[in-house]
Structure 1
Amino acid sequence: MRSLVLVGHGSHLNGESAGAVYRYAELLRGRGLFDEVVEGYWKEEPSLRQVLKTTASTDVTVIPMFISEGYFTETVIPRELGLGHQGPVPPGGVARVLGGRTVRYTLPYGVHPGMSDVILERAREVLPDLNAQDTALVVLGHGTTRNENSNRVIYGNADRLRESGLFAEVHALFLDEEPKVGGWPERVRAPRVVVVPFFASEGWHTLETIPEDMGLTGEVTEFPENPHGPQTVYYARPVGTHPSVADVVLHLAEEARGASERGGDEERGHAQAWAAFLDLARRGTRVGEAVVTPHAGMFELRHALDEGRPTDDLTTVVTPEGLRDLARRDEGGHHRPVHTLRNLPRGWRAVLSEADLPRGVHYLYPAVVEEGYAQHCHTLRATPWPTTARRQTGIYTKVTRATPEQVEDVAKDVCSGCLKTRLWAGEKLTRTFFSGVPGAIPCAEACTYFIAEVREEVSGKRGQASPGHDD
């Protein structure tokens, strides 16, 4: 078996942040080239510390779904996955044997040479008859003076497309460093100009900042009096939302197979956990706030407080993705970065086959089955808070300064609303939902939401703005 893990940043505040990773996972899952495709996040669930536990195979390839190399791809992700690697990732990726799995970690998709083809596809979408006689291409990046990798990928793609001879001119321009996009009229001479944003997703920059800086009014904007004569700008959608990114991901995964062929003994915990859970489900069970009921070869899931409620009163979903989408928001429509918070919305029922049930339960409560079963078998290892705090880097290093009183103050606000028992704080959990106690779910390590809140507490800012921190 082979597993593919797509890693995104995610957000404690914005439910749309994870959308692109989910969409690519669905595309790649549909191609059937991997036995499973799993998503993991820095700021959502399953977390980077949990995601490898949720994979079924002994050969796992991890792709960072980022547009360029940098702090997250070189420091945060390898650290949280426990790869024992820091710094630049070689072109073929790195590989480690962890817990009986060969884990292959690649470069982010945005730096792959195949992204030049994605840029070209975006350009042709907005201007099908582009040509080398009268068409200029602007590859537009964010840019930052703090990380040279941010502009290197833009210049590399611009160079490759310039060498292709398909355009009269090719320019690399940026939002936050020179040469800036606002100066495009002085630099670009061709009468037709295609602008392709090298961004991972649609957002504030692609929808607001870039059009404002360039004076654009829509997909096509006429400029009758520019310094080099009349020009027409064709504004393309960002590269990161193009379906062809899935092909780039597959190329990265294939190239990573050569990083190492070291194997390991198969880790049976995952298979045993889901076999045990399916045995419970076939008899009817409850986990967290959800109840699972077998019926005519299928399984119905609903909120436990909706037991006995007529099905006509409930919204029915029939796919794991449908269950995922409804579980990501509470009844007020607010984003749920931690799925074991006691705010699972009511008013729904999911009807899933036995083949789809594991993925549906995984989306409802990520990593809970794997960690719950390990605790049930007395094999789950907790990570004490001081160890988690010392592992943090960057802006989160200050959590090491949190006093025990500050940590507990945050726990009263954050953890009191969660179903999990804090093993990392020394709390005991002698029985789990595998023993018939629905809310008995272990928490082996402080989550990133808690870490972010501790940072705010140490900074004296907690409660002054929206909860959580998305850096």
Structure 2
Amino acid sequence: MVGRPDPASVGTVPPPGEGYSARHMRSLILIGHGSHLNGESATAVYRYADLIRERGLYDEVIEGYWKEEPSLRQVLRTTASTDVTVIPMFISEGYFTEVVIPRELGLGHQGPVPPGGVARVIGGRTVRYTLPYGVHPSMTDVILARAREALADFNPQDTALIVLGHGTTRNENSNRVIYHNADLIRQAGHFAQVEALFLDEDPKVGTWPERITAPRVVVVPFFASEGWHTLETIPEDMGLTGDVTSFRENPHGQQTVYYARPVGTHPAVADVILHLAQEASGALAQDGDVERGHEYAWQAVLERARRGLRMGELVITPDSGVYEIRHMLDEGRPGGDLRTLVTPEGVRDTVRRDDGGDHRPVHTLRNLPRGWRAVLSEADLRRALHYVYPAVVEETYAHSCHALRATPWPTTARRQTGIYTRVQKATPEQVEHVAGEVCKSCLRTRLWAGEKLAHTFLDGVPGGIPCAEACTVLVAEVREEVSGKRGQAGGHSH
């Protein structure tokens, strides 16, 4: 688990106000983009969830993702409270925060989010959806803190700053926060020159040698996490070889570039998140309670776990008031031969990769890593099972109560926008061909494709897990199939 940040490293972001005593049951959801290919994409969201969870201000802090699990379509079902605040862990307003996330959550809202957020009642839960944390005014201080880490003695005489954003042609709002922060820092006079540059729109980052005249240049990526772009794309486009790179023959003479870590991984972001949650808390009356359907589902699982339970590839064994969980194929091995985990976060970090070290965006694939055991209390068992199989308990229980509604492929396809609109052109044969390859190693039964599931792991069938809707991995693969790029190098979606 990530520890508390050193106060000296938090920068100038003030601590949240006094309105955080947990007087009733309430949940906080942090929504990240995630990735089908890169496990590091989700790391920042997990880190902030850990930091906020440690503060004890919410009864639970849950992570949800566009490209990983629990998915945006599942995540509300995994909350234990009827009072839910959702923070989009994105760096700017744009396509994902204004279109994708509200659509997938079922908020009934599209377009710019007002300063106080959007509040809806969904399935008996009061759901508050806020602006992305990146537009909070305190993020200017985070940019400066990252710049100081990269070059402690920057000054207005010889140092330029590049605030580097992603940019997109899909939404004109996405670059606004980049320009706004660059303007504020320029007006403050901290640097000889301040430029806003982008990966996917003009002015592009590759033009920096022509634009920047100062001999020292600090580059601060205004990105939410450390990932493909910050580790690969940006260094390649700028010609960087490390944290500090010297260029001897640039148009304006010799220049040295200092490459900072992305703003989204700074510990002060935890306070920004809490400020956003507090500002949205007055949207509707706070009267959160235990969500009964969720609690019934977990009580059903725990009742069976007290007698021993097989769930997916896991075997759960009660032992003197605690529970041991391990891979079924490790059953019978002496505990001393296995790595022992004692926290839900330890389980989470272990099961995110398979035995070969590859990222597992779909947790119900039959590639759960082996060689570990976790010994946990009943409360920690709940969280650990959520990490191993996100949303599986809630969806399986709903299916056993005939309350899980399957979403047929045509409905899922019609809901897609942007680059995924193309999946609407897929023929049934194409969808089934791709599903036959993508889904063959998954424990789930495809209810969305008309398959029947008579018995679940709640009935003693370990692999009995329902799949109510095609996952984002399948959607991405169908898009590649329709585009004729499936199986080609670089053809997969991040």
Tell me the TM-score normalized by structure 2: 0.87
Deviation at 1:101, TM superposition (A): 0.8
Equivalent in 63, 87, 94 of residue 63 of structure 1: 87
Equivalent in 240, 243, 249 of residue 273 of structure 2: 249
Partner of 1:284: 308
CA distance in 2 between partners of 1:76 and 1:347 (Å): 38
The 5 A counterparts of 1:127-166 are 127-132=151-156, 135-166=159-190
1:340-373 Cα distance to aligned partner (Å, 9 max, x none):
1122222221111222111100111110111111
Partner of 1:117: 141
CA distance in 2 between partners of 1:459 and 1:183 (Å): 31
Equivalent in 347, 363, 385 of residue 387 of structure 2: 363
The answer to whether structure 1 residue 43 and structure 2 residue 74 are counterparts is no
Structure 1 residues 389 and 146, CA gap change in structure 2 (3 angstroms): closer
Is the 1:94–1:260 contact (alpha carbons within 8 Å) kept by the matching residues of 2? Answer: no
The answer to whether structure 1 residue 386 and structure 2 residue 391 are counterparts is no
Once the two structures are overlaid, the 10-residue window that deviates more, 207-216 or 316-325, is 207-216
The 5 A counterparts of 1:321-336 are 321-336=345-360
CA distance in 2 between partners of 1:251 and 1:220 (Å): 34
Give the letter for the 2:128 counterpart.
Answer: R
Equivalent in 96, 109, 119 of residue 72 of structure 1: 96
Structure 1 residues 447 and 208, CA gap change in structure 2 (3 angstroms): closer
Structure 1 residues 206 and 337, CA gap change in structure 2 (3 angstroms): closer
The answer to whether structure 1 residue 269 and structure 2 residue 293 are counterparts is yes
CA distance in 1 between partners of 2:360 and 2:180 (Å): 38
Give the letter for the 1:50 counterpart.
Answer: Q
Partner of 1:21: 45
CA distance in 1 between partners of 2:256 and 2:434 (Å): 55
Deviation at 1:196, TM superposition (A): 1.8
Deviation at 1:287, TM superposition (A): 0.7
Deviation at 1:97, TM superposition (A): 0.4
Partner of 1:404: 428
1:373-425 Cα distance to aligned partner (Å, 9 max, x none):
11222222222222222222222223333333333323322223221122222
Give the letter for the 1:49 counterpart.
Answer: R
Is the 2:165–2:223 contact (alpha carbons within 8 Å) kept by the matching residues of 1? Answer: yes
CA distance in 1 between partners of 2:418 and 2:158 (Å): 47
Structure 1 residues 9 and 217, CA gap change in structure 2 (3 angstroms): closer
Partner of 1:313: 337
| Residue aligned with 1:356, SS | helix
Structure 1 residues 174 and 466, CA gap change in structure 2 (3 angstroms): closer
Give the letter for the 1:93 counterpart.
Answer: G
Once the two structures are overlaid, the 10-residue window that deviates more, 381-390 or 167-176, is 167-176
The 5 A counterparts of 1:408-447 are 408-447=432-471
Partner of 1:104: 128
The answer to whether structure 1 residue 450 and structure 2 residue 464 are counterparts is no
Deviation at 1:189, TM superposition (A): 5.4
1:294-323 Cα distance to aligned partner (Å, 9 max, x none):
112211101112211122222222221221
Equivalent in 358, 361, 367 of residue 343 of structure 1: 367
CA distance in 1 between partners of 2:93 and 2:77 (Å): 25
Give the unaligned 5+ runs of structure 1: none
Structure 1 residues 302 and 387, CA gap change in structure 2 (3 angstroms): same
Partner of 2:196: 172
CA distance in 2 between partners of 1:163 and 1:138 (Å): 14
CA distance in 2 between partners of 1:461 and 1:191 (Å): 44
Once the two structures are overlaid, the 10-residue window that deviates more, 421-430 or 190-199, is 190-199
Once the two structures are overlaid, the 10-residue window that deviates more, 30-39 or 460-469, is 460-469
Tell me the TM-score normalized by structure 1: 0.91
CA distance in 2 between partners of 1:141 and 1:277 (Å): 45
Structure 1 residues 263 and 75, CA gap change in structure 2 (3 angstroms): farther
Give the letter for the 2:52 counterpart.
Answer: L
Equivalent in 302, 307, 311 of residue 326 of structure 2: 302
CA distance in 1 between partners of 2:486 and 2:248 (Å): 52
Is the 2:26–2:288 contact (alpha carbons within 8 Å) kept by the matching residues of 1? Answer: no
Partner of 2:317: 293
Give the letter for the 1:379 counterpart.
Answer: A
Deviation at 1:223, TM superposition (A): 6.4
Is the 1:41–1:48 contact (alpha carbons within 8 Å) kept by the matching residues of 2? Answer: yes
CA distance in 2 between partners of 1:396 and 1:157 (Å): 31
Give the letter for the 1:28 counterpart.
Answer: I
Once the two structures are overlaid, the 10-residue window that deviates more, 257-266 or 394-403, is 257-266
CA distance in 1 between partners of 2:227 and 2:40 (Å): 10
Deviation at 1:467, TM superposition (A): 8.2
Is the 1:194–1:236 contact (alpha carbons within 8 Å) kept by the matching residues of 2? Answer: yes
Deviation at 1:134, TM superposition (A): 5.2
Structure 1 residues 156 and 423, CA gap change in structure 2 (3 angstroms): same
CA distance in 2 between partners of 1:422 and 1:126 (Å): 49
Is the 2:83–2:286 contact (alpha carbons within 8 Å) kept by the matching residues of 1? Answer: no
| Residue aligned with 1:255, SS | helix
